[in-house]
Structure formats: structure tokens, C-alpha cells
Structure 1
Amino acid sequence: MGIFSFLKGQFVEVIEWTEEEDGDSIVHRFPAYDNAIKMGAQLTVRESQAAIFVNEGQIADVFGPGRYELSTQNMPLLTALKSWKFAFNSPFKADVYFVKTTNITDQKWGTTNPVIMRDKEFGVVRARGFGNYSFKIKDPAIFMKEIFGTQKEFNPEQISGLFKTIIVSGLSDLLAESGIPIIELASHYDELSVRASERILHHFETIGLVLTGFIIENISLPEEVEQMIDRKSSMNIAGNLDSYMKYQTAESIREAANNPASGLAGAGAGLGAGMAMGQMMNQMISHPTPEPQVAAATPAPVVPAAAPSGAAPRFCSQCGAALEVNAKFCSGCGTKL
């Protein structure tokens, strides 16, 4: 074999990427031997891929799914960058990158630090949230220019930190503006997910991506706030002791039925005492005992002075009331004596 035949055998004639080779990678640099590609080489781009040719760090031609025979006709930008003349047929050097364009799913997000939000009932509280999202590369050239650069390989974990920052920032503003009470957040997860997706979508588009899904799985509250909610729930239950005691009665009967060894007699005795106490508490709440009132003092009756010793008692001739010794008017009817 001559030297020219050997060199000809080293030129790349088939360019393709089987994604199984790199696992979770979303960008793969084709391992060209000394970057020498034969003019007329076969380029295969699968349905889930795009191929980008880079000349000395500058993005040139981008190929979508299909099979191509490389020539100056289907590489216009690279032809212009290298100043090739028409019908150029010599091997050339270029970097070839394959980009995965399928949906990248099950990407996790979560709040590293609590999100501070204001609630009408509990005041300022700190909340944490987590969930998942999915995306795909919409514009391979922009993605490579803004994020990927010229690395050999690239996977979603390398930009997960950026995505989490974008998501948490958008979600924090959304929660602050929504005005939804914290005890009702769980019933608004779907609505908040849609609104958060719309809010952060443009951040993905600026780097050549599209956000295809966003889900809020949970928004958790501090332990002390959860305890306050539990106490409030307990107070609401105790507000209707009659319903509460009916519930307790049913629970006691069920437990006694599931535990025959304890006997229904003991359960009945405890149940009766519990019901009596519940009724007492219900009456106390519904009809509180009035505070004792101090009765107004009744003035003592006036007792006429006793007549001197040996003197006969005097009585009013008009009303018959007893008279004092030296009285000039009757204290009962006012008659002048």
C-alpha cells in the first residue's frame, strides 16, 4: 500500500452518532481523525438529532434529520468561510457536533433556600417547593453559542443549576403576586404550574431551548406554621362537640369490635363517661355559666324610738302607724299631730 492510499484511508467517510454510546449526553462531538473529512463523505442525522459543523470555533452549517453527501452545494456557510472554489474536492478540517432534539424529561427542581411569602392569616412565612420539568433543544445553533461552547460532551446536569435559579425566581414572584392563602396552595398546584411555565418560558427560549413541561409537586411550610394549622383545625372540630362525640362513639365501637378480648362492657363504660363529659363541655361552650352578681343592699327598716319608761305608746289616728315620743308629724301619712 502506497503512502497516498494510507492517507486516503484515514479520511472520515461516514459521520453519524448512535446515542447509546454516550448515555444521557445531549451534545456529542464526533471523533474525526485529525478533523480530516473527505469531501463526499456520508452524513447521517437521525430524527432525534441535529448536526452542526464548526470551523475554527465559528458555527457554520446546521443539518436536520436526513442523509447527506457532503459537498460545497449543501455546505454553503462552510464553503464561504473557507473560501472554497466551486467543485472543491479535497479533504477538509472541521468540528462536527451532534445535538439531541428529543424531549428531556424528569428533570428535578427544588428551592435551595426558603421562599419568603406573606399570608393574610399567618403573616410572613417561609415556604419550600419542589417538582420536575422537561425541555428540549429548539435551536441547536443558539444553544451551542450561548451554553455549550466547544466541549466534547454535554448533559442536562451541567445546566440544572441555571434552570433551578430561573424556576425558583419565577415561582417566588408568582407566589407573592397570587395572593392565595397558604392553607389553600395544594388545591392550586395545577394553576400555579401553568402560570409559572408561562412566566419562565422566555428564559429558556433565549438560550435555544423550549420548556415542554413544568409541575409543582409540593409546597411545604415550616413546622411551626403546620402546628398552627393543626391547632386551628382542632379548634374547628371542637366547635361542634356533638358531631365530634358522634365520631368518637363510632370509633370506639369499631375499636371494640376489632378487639374482642377487651370486651364491650369496658368499652361501653368508657364510652358512657366520655359522652357525659362531652355533653358537659358542649353545654359549657354553648351556654356559659353567668358570673355571680352581688345583690343590691336593702336598707334596714326604721325602728321608732322606744317610749320612755311608764309612758304609753303613741299611734297615728289616721293610719295607725307607731309614733316617736316627740314626733309632731306622722312618719307614715304625714298627718300633723
Structure 2
Amino acid sequence: MGLFDKIKEKLSNEFIDIVEWLDYTDDTICYRFERYQNEIKNGAKLIVREGQTAVFVNEGQLADVFGPGTYTLDTQNLPILTTLKGWKYGFNSPFKAEVYFVNTHLFTDEKWGTKNPITLHDDRYGLVEIRAFGTYAFKIFDAGKFIIDIVGTDNNFTNYEVNEHLKSLIATRFTNTVGQANLPIELYAANTSELSETCREVMQPEFMSIGISLEKFYLENVSMPEDLKKEIFEYSRLDKLDMSKLTQFKAAKAMEAAASNEGGTAGAGMGMGMGFVLANQMGSMMSPQMGGAMQQPQAAAVSPPPMPAAVQYYYASNGQQAGPVTYDQLSALFANRTINRETLVWKQGLDNWIALKEVEELKAFLGSNTPPPLPGA
């Protein structure tokens, strides 16, 4: 081999074309390999590292896709591009093609949230508003589809550019999913894991349609207005209490509050009543010690008639008979929305179950102040 041939071989080895991408950022999803006029030499080396995919695009058309590895770019390693360019017997001159490197590692801790409150219908509380937020993780699973459908000709595509689209998709699908779940509002906080997995399964097909895989989806918190939260807490406590004992407790607290209001009329009345009680007790204690002359003849004790038996009511709850309960207990059940005006009730003397609103003494629950029609009207 002559001197000239050795120099030519040495220069050709030193100027081997290398096509690679060293990613130094955490947010870049896709990078377009820059080369003057997109010319790549015959026999160039393509280096695709772990966590990358290289996509060749020829005149806007997807050509070849390469996974991790080192390749020599010739007609054997570029079958689709060879067909597009009509290289039947190989090529010796530089060829033009755009090369995109796609980052296929997992993008984690991406935030999502509902921009506006979601309005839901709850059987117990009516229309309610909730907000939700959490995190998700995704990665590119079909680099070619992702380049064609999302990236286009962007030379440096970051996760910020696609996150806005993904967060809008998540918020829409989350709203649909919780609306169809029809869960009682107080159970959302206790079922975040099940809701998270259900939402991920619902959203996955739409992510896949643009070449993205939704790997993780987390619902971290569901918030609601403070007044609704307070009402839920109070209802949960009432649901566990004996209503008759609760009524007695509230009555005792009301009497205690009235007695402590010494400057008011209620306090004065309470103090006077307690004074009469004390006076009677002292009189009873002193009467045995007083002489016969001081004793007044007492009237014969008259026994009052027995109290009438309280009416017992039965009511329908979830298709089952419940009760019996008293009038006050039934009033409390109506107040806390366990029953309503359409609930079927029965008492002794009725032939059949009828709606609460049709029982005369129970109409007081409905808050109607309209008097009955005049006789003969």
C-alpha cells in the first residue's frame, strides 16, 4: 500500500460520521439530531443508548426506528429508507434524513389537578362540589407514533409541552369516571386507591393512541367545601347515636345554658323555678318537726289517670321494615334526611302502608303553614 493510500485510510477513519445524542436534561422527551442539510454519510455509526429510541424521518414520512445498540448505516440496516429512496444496489454518497432521538425512560411525579370544582349529585346531600389533585407517571412506548402525532418538526420537545395536553385529558376523564362511579360523597377519601386504578384503566387507551403509556396514576386528595365537610361529620356522628338520648342531652344543655344566663328573663324564670323547688323541699323537711297545731289538714291525694300509650310508627328503609319509633324519633329521622316525605310509614289503625306526607299528624314535619279548608267550603 502506498503512502497516499495510507493517508487516505487514516483520514477516512478519523472522520467517521457519528450519529448520537447525549441527554443532559431531565425534561427533554425528543431531540432532533442537527446536521447541515440533514446529510448523513454512507457507513455512519448510529449509537442509541439505553432509554433511547432513534427515529428516521424521510421527507415527512416515518422511515426506520432503532432501539438501543450501535448500527452502521447502510442499505442492510436501513431497509425502509432504502425502499423509499430506491437504493436497489446500495449507495455511496451522503443521504438526507431527519433523525429524532426519543427519551423512553419513565417521567415521574407529574402533577395534575382539577382547575374548576366538579359538580356531582349525591343521594343524601344533593348537588355537591369537589376538587381533586394528584400525580402521574408516563413514558413513550411508540416513538414513531409519538413523533408523527405530537412532536412534528419540533427540534427539542420537552415534557412541559405535552403535560398541558395530558393534564386536560386527565381532568376530563376523571370527571367522567367519578360521575359514573356514583359513590356516596363521604367515601371518596376512603377509596382513593380503587379510584386511582380505575381512572388509570379508563385513561390508558387515550394515552396509547398518541404513543404514550400511562404507567402510574395517583389520586392524592379529594377536597370539598368546609360547610359540606362539617355536615358529613355531624351526620356520621348522629347516625351512631341513640336519638332519644340525644334529645335528652340537648334539653339538659339548653336548661344549663338558660340557668347560666342570670341577667336574662329565661335565667330569672329558671332561678325562680329552682327557688320554688328548694322551698318545697325545705317545707317537707321541716313539717315533721312542727307541732300538730301548725299542721294543716291535707287534702286526700288524687291519682291522675294513666298516660295514654305513645303511638308507635314503623317506616320503610332500603326496602326493609324499620321501627317501631316514637313521634319524636321519627321527627329526628326526618330532620337528618334518613327518611323523607315519600317514605312509607304505618301505625296501628292503618290498613296499609302510606306515604309520610299523607299522615295527618306527620304533616308538621313538612313545615307547611297553610290551614285546612273551612268546613262546607
TM (norm. structure 2) is: 0.60
The answer to whether the Cα contact below 8 Å between 1:46 and 1:66 also exists between their aligned partners in 2 is yes
Alignment partners' CA distance in 2, 1:227 and 1:10: 75
Alignment partners' CA distance in 1, 2:13 and 2:148: 33
Residues 71-119 of structure 1, C-alpha deviations (whole Å, 9 max, x = no match): 0111011112222231212111111110011111111110011111111
What does residue 18 of structure 2 align with? 14
Within the candidate set 173, 181, 187, 1:184 is matched to 187
The answer to whether the Cα contact below 8 Å between 2:16 and 2:45 also exists between their aligned partners in 1 is no
Compared CA separation, residues 124 and 14, structure 1 to 2 (3 A): same
What does residue 91 of structure 1 align with? 94
The answer to whether the Cα contact below 8 Å between 2:27 and 2:160 also exists between their aligned partners in 1 is no
Alignment partners' CA distance in 2, 1:55 and 1:12: 22
Number of residue pairs the alignment of both structures matches: 248
What does residue 108 of structure 1 align with? 111
Match of 1:19, SS?
A: coil
Residues 26-79 of structure 1, C-alpha deviations (whole Å, 9 max, x = no match): 101112133121110111001101001111221111111110011011101111
Please tell me whether residue 147 in structure 1 is matched to residue 150 in structure 2.
yes
What RMSD, in angstroms, separates the aligned Cα atoms of the two structures?
3.2
The answer to whether the Cα contact below 8 Å between 1:53 and 1:60 also exists between their aligned partners in 2 is yes
Alignment partners' CA distance in 2, 1:122 and 1:67: 63
Alignment partners' CA distance in 1, 2:39 and 2:136: 40
Match of 2:171, SS?
A: helix
Match of 2:134, SS?
A: strand
What does residue 222 of structure 1 align with? 225
Within the candidate set 164, 169, 173, 1:170 is matched to 173
Alignment partners' CA distance in 2, 1:10 and 1:80: 30
The answer to whether the Cα contact below 8 Å between 1:11 and 1:91 also exists between their aligned partners in 2 is no
Match of 1:105, SS?
A: strand
Within the candidate set 123, 128, 153, 1:125 is matched to 128
Structure 1 counterpart of 2:20, which letter?
Answer: E
Alignment partners' CA distance in 2, 1:279 and 1:117: 37
Match of 1:26, SS?
A: strand
Per the TM alignment, residue 165 of structure 1 is displaced from its structure 2 partner at its CA by 2.0
What does residue 47 of structure 1 align with? 50
TM (norm. structure 1) is: 0.66
Alignment partners' CA distance in 2, 1:126 and 1:156: 31
The answer to whether the Cα contact below 8 Å between 1:37 and 1:92 also exists between their aligned partners in 2 is yes
Structure 1 counterpart of 2:22, which letter?
Answer: T
Per the TM alignment, residue 282 of structure 1 is displaced from its structure 2 partner at its CA by 10
What does residue 322 of structure 1 align with? none
What does residue 203 of structure 2 align with? 200
Compared CA separation, residues 223 and 11, structure 1 to 2 (3 A): farther
Alignment partners' CA distance in 1, 2:96 and 2:13: 15
Unaligned runs of at least 5 residues, structure 1: 244-276, 285-294, 297-337
Per the TM alignment, residue 280 of structure 1 is displaced from its structure 2 partner at its CA by 4.1
Compared CA separation, residues 171 and 278, structure 1 to 2 (3 A): closer
What does residue 325 of structure 1 align with? none
Match of 1:171, SS?
A: helix
The answer to whether the Cα contact below 8 Å between 2:21 and 2:101 also exists between their aligned partners in 1 is yes
What does residue 246 of structure 1 align with? none
Match of 2:55, SS?
A: strand
Alignment partners' CA distance in 2, 1:214 and 1:12: 45
Between 227-236 and 122-131, the greater mean CA deviation after superposition: 227-236
Match of 1:73, SS?
A: coil
Between 231-240 and 189-198, the greater mean CA deviation after superposition: 231-240
Structure 2 counterpart of 1:19, which letter?
Answer: D
Alignment partners' CA distance in 2, 1:42 and 1:14: 5
Match of 2:154, SS?
A: coil
Per the TM alignment, residue 202 of structure 1 is displaced from its structure 2 partner at its CA by 0.3
